[in-house]
Amino acid sequence: MMDCEKPSWPTIHQKQALDYYGKYRKLFEPIYKEATLPEQAAKDIQIIESMQGKNPFASRLIRHKSGRTYVKLFSTKAVELTKMIQTFDHFGITCLHELSSSVTNGENQPTIIQRFEVGGSSDDQTKLYDQAERFREALHALRCDTLLDDELNRLVLLEGLSHREMSLLQSLRQYQLQINPELSAIKINRVLLQHHSLAGLILHLFLARFDPEIKNRNKAFKELTELIEIALAQVVNLQDDQVLRGLANIVNSAVRTNYFQTPTPAAIAFKIDCSKIDKMPTPRPWREIFVFAPHVEGIHLRGGKVARGGLRFSDRLEDYRTEVLGLMKTQMVKNAIIVPLGAKGGFVIPRLEERTKKQQKDWVATQYKIFIRALLDLTDNRVEERVIHPENVVIHDEDDPYLVVAADKGTASFSDLANNIAEMNINSGSVMLSPLVAPTVTIIKKLA
C-alpha cells in the first residue's frame, strides 16, 4: 500500500512564486503552458513540490473564471481515462474532457498532471464545491486502495460522508446482501441513493452506537431512532422500506466494531447478535463477525459461546455466507459428542483475476492476514483472572475472550500466517496463542 499522507498547502507569497517561476518555467510542456493560467500554475507547482519523496498522489478542484469546473490529479503514474470516467460517474459527475501533461523536477520521477473538465447540473456543481474537501479525500482513498470504487460513493456529495463513512455504509450493504440473498447490490444502491438522507441517518445511528467519544449515548441513539422512524413512515415503496429497515436492524443487532480503533484497521469488522436480526437464514448462529475491505470480505459464524471450526477461502463471491452456514451446521453435528459447538468461517477476494497467477498466492495470503486481524480486533483478552476489552471498542455484549480458527479448504498452508499474527500480538503483550496447535490446524485463543 502506498504512503498516502494527504498534503495541505499554505498561501503562496510573491517571493515564493518568483522562485517557482525561475525553477519551473522551462520544465513544463507547451500544452500545459497554453492551457494553464499563471496563478493556477503556481498552485500546481506548490503541490508538485509537496509531493517530492512524500506523497504519490494529490488532487485539486478548480472553478475556472469561465464557469468551467476542473479536477486536477497529480501522480507518478497516470490514471486510465476510462477508469476515471467511471469513478467520476460514481460520484454523480460527468467527465467532459481530459488534458494530460508531465513535469520532471531534477532527478525525481516525472509528475503526471491530468486535468479533467467535469460537468453536471447546477445542483451537482454546487454539491461538488460544497463538499470539495470530502471529494478530494475520497479520491485520495480510492488512489490508496482504501475505498471501494462503486456508485454508493455518490453519497460523498449528497450527504457529505467521509471516505471512512462510505466504507462503513458499503460494509453494511455487503452484509445485508449475505443475509438476504434475494437482494442485489444494484437494488440496495438504488434505495440508498433515492433515500440518501435516511441512509445518512442509519449511518449516524451506527456511529452513535459505537463512537467511544460520544456523550449521552442513549439520548443520541434514541433521537436518531425516532428520526429514522419518522423518515421510514414517508417511504411508500414496500421493498425500499424493507431494505432500509433491514439496514437499521443490522445496526441495532451489532454488538462490537473495530471502526473506531487506531491506527485505522485495514478492514472494517462488526460483530452481530444473530438473535436480534429480524430475517436470517436458518440455522441461526449465536454470533457472527463480518469483515469488509476493498479486496476481501469474510464471515465467521459461531454456534455458541464455545465453538470451533475452520476458515476457508471461498470462490462463491455472491453467497459465501450460505456456503459457510451449511458447513457450520455440519460442524455442529460433528462436534456433538465433544464440548465445543460448531463454528465456521470463510472469506472471498473480489477481482482476484485482475492479478497474475504469480501474484495471486501472495495476494490471497495478504488478504487472509487482514481477515484474521479483523477477527482478533473484536476479541477480548484475558489477563490473569480479568477480561480486557479491545481499546476503542464499545461493548454491547458479554465478555468474549474466545476465538478458535482451524484450517480448511484453501487455507491449509496458512496456519503459520495466523500463528505469526498471534505471535506478533504476544510480543506486544496482548495475545497468547493456545498450546493446542497442530501443523494443519490453527487455534487462536485470546489469552495473556
Q: Digits of tens for pLDDT over the chain (448 positions)?
A: 334 444 454 556 677 777 777 788 888 999 999 999 888 888 899 899 888 777 789 999 998 878 889 999 999 889 999 999 999 999 999 999 999 999 987 666 789 999 999 998 888 888 999 999 999 999 999 999 999 999 999 999 999 999 999 999 999 999 999 999 999 999 999 999 999 999 999 999 999 999 999 999 999 999 999 999 999 999 999 999 999 999 999 999 999 999 999 999 999 999 999 999 999 999 999 999 999 999 999 999 999 998 888 899 999 999 999 999 999 988 877 766 676 788 999 999 999 999 999 999 999 999 999 999 999 999 998 888 889 999 999 999 999 988 887 778 877 767 667 666 655 554 333 333 333 233 333 444 444 4
Cis? peptide before 340, omega within 30° of 0: no
Region of residue 445 (phi > 0: left; psi between -120 and 50: alpha; otherwise: beta): beta
Q: For residues 83 and 146, is the Cβ–Cβ distance under 8 A?
A: no
- In order of start, what are the domains of the chain with their CATH numbers? 14-144 (no CATH), 156-255 (no CATH), 268-427 (3.40.50.10860)
Report the pLDDT value the prediction gives residue 437, as an integer from 0 to 100: 32
Report the pLDDT value the prediction gives residue 181, as an integer from 0 to 100: 92
Pairing verdict, β 69-75 and 57-63: antiparallel
Q: For residues 192 and 233, is the Cβ–Cβ distance under 8 A?
A: no
* 349 exposure class (CB count in 10 Å sphere: 0-12, 13-18, 19+): buried
Report the pLDDT value the prediction gives residue 432, as an integer from 0 to 100: 33
Report the pLDDT value the prediction gives residue 428, as an integer from 0 to 100: 39
> Cell numbers of 91, please?
460520484
HSE, side-chain direction, 13 A CA sphere, residue 49? 17
Q: Quick one: which H or E segment has residue 390?
A: none
Q: For residues 391 and 263, is the Cβ–Cβ distance under 8 A?
A: no
Judged by DSSP in three states, 375 sits in: helix
Report the pLDDT value the prediction gives residue 440, as an integer from 0 to 100: 32
What's phi and psi for 118, nearest 5 deg?
-120, 150
Instruction: Report the first-to-last Cα separation within the chain, whole angstroms.
Output: 31
Report the pLDDT value the prediction gives residue 439, as an integer from 0 to 100: 30
Q: For residues 320 and 178, is the Cβ–Cβ distance under 8 A?
A: yes
Region of residue 310 (phi > 0: left; psi between -120 and 50: alpha; otherwise: beta): beta
Taking the C-alpha atoms of residue 315 and residue 334, their distance in angstroms, rounded to an integer, is: 24
Residue linked to cell 486535468? 115
43 is catalytic: no
Closest CA to 347 of 326, 332, 365: 365
Which residues, in sequence order, are CB contacts of 46 under 8 Å at separation 6+? 9, 12, 20
What's phi and psi for 52, nearest 5 deg?
-60, 115
Give the neighbor-by-neighbor strand order of the sheet with 69-75.
57-63, 69-75, 111-119, 94-103
Report the pLDDT value the prediction gives residue 153, as an integer from 0 to 100: 97
Q: Quick one: CA dihedral 231, 199, 372, 376, positive or negative?
A: negative
Report the pLDDT value the prediction gives residue 278, as an integer from 0 to 100: 96
Taking the C-alpha atoms of residue 269 and residue 298, their distance in angstroms, rounded to an integer, is: 9
Taking the C-alpha atoms of residue 64 and residue 66, their distance in angstroms, rounded to an integer, is: 5
- What is the gyration radius of the CA atoms in the chain, in angstroms? 24
Active-site residue (options: 43, 344, 445, 446): 344
Which residues, in sequence order, are CB contacts of 255 under 8 Å at separation 6+? 271, 272, 273, 287, 395, 396, 397
Q: For residues 296 and 349, is the Cβ–Cβ distance under 8 A?
A: yes
Report the pLDDT value the prediction gives residue 339, as an integer from 0 to 100: 62
Taking the C-alpha atoms of residue 411 and residue 415, their distance in angstroms, rounded to an integer, is: 7
Q: For residues 2 and 32, is the Cβ–Cβ distance under 8 A?
A: no
